[in-house]
Amino acid sequence: MFAVLKTGGKQYKVQTGDVLRVERLAASAGEKIQFNDILMIGGDKPTVGAPMVKGAAVQAEVIDEIKADKVITFHKRRRKHSSQRTRGHRQKLTLLRVTDILASGAEKSGVKEAVGSAAARVAAHDAAPAAKAPAKDAGAKAASKPAAKVAAKPAAAKKAAAKPAAAKKPAAKKTKE
71-77 and 57-67 beta bridge pairing: unpaired
* pLDDT (tens digit per residue) in 97-116: 999 999 888 888 888 888 88
* pLDDT (tens digit per residue) in 159-172: 666 677 777 777 77
Residue 150 lies in a domain: no
What is d(CA 93, CA 23) in angstroms, rounded to the nearest whole number?
5
Does residue 43 sit in helix, strand or coil? coil
> How far is residue 152 from each of residues 29, 140, 157, measured CA to CA in Å?
62, 18, 15
**b (16+ CB within 10 A) / e for 25-41:** bbbeeeeebbbbbbbbb
Residue 56 lies in a domain: yes
Tell me: pLDDT of 132 over 70. no
Total number of domains constituting the chain: 1
Lowest mean pLDDT among 53-62, 63-72, 120-129, 139-148: 139-148
Handedness of CA 37, 33, 115, 98 (dihedral sign): negative
pLDDT at 170: 79
**Mean pLDDT (the chain, rounded):** 82
Of the chain, the percentage scoring pLDDT greater than 70 comes to 80
Residue 124 lies in a domain: yes
**What 8-state DSSP symbol labels residue 53?**
-
Which pLDDT band, with edges at 50, 70 and 90, does 126 fall under?
Answer: confident
Side-by-side strand order, sheet with 57-67:
19-23, 92-102, 57-67, 32-35, 112-113
Tell me: pLDDT of 144 over 60. no
C-alpha 102, offset from chain centre: 28
Domain that holds residue 45: 2-129
Higher per-residue pLDDT: 102 or 152: 102
* pLDDT (tens digit per residue) in 16-63: 999 999 999 988 899 999 999 999 999 888 989 898 999 999 999 999
pLDDT at 63: 95
Residue 6 lies in a domain: yes
Max CA distance (Å), the chain: 111
pLDDT at 56: 92
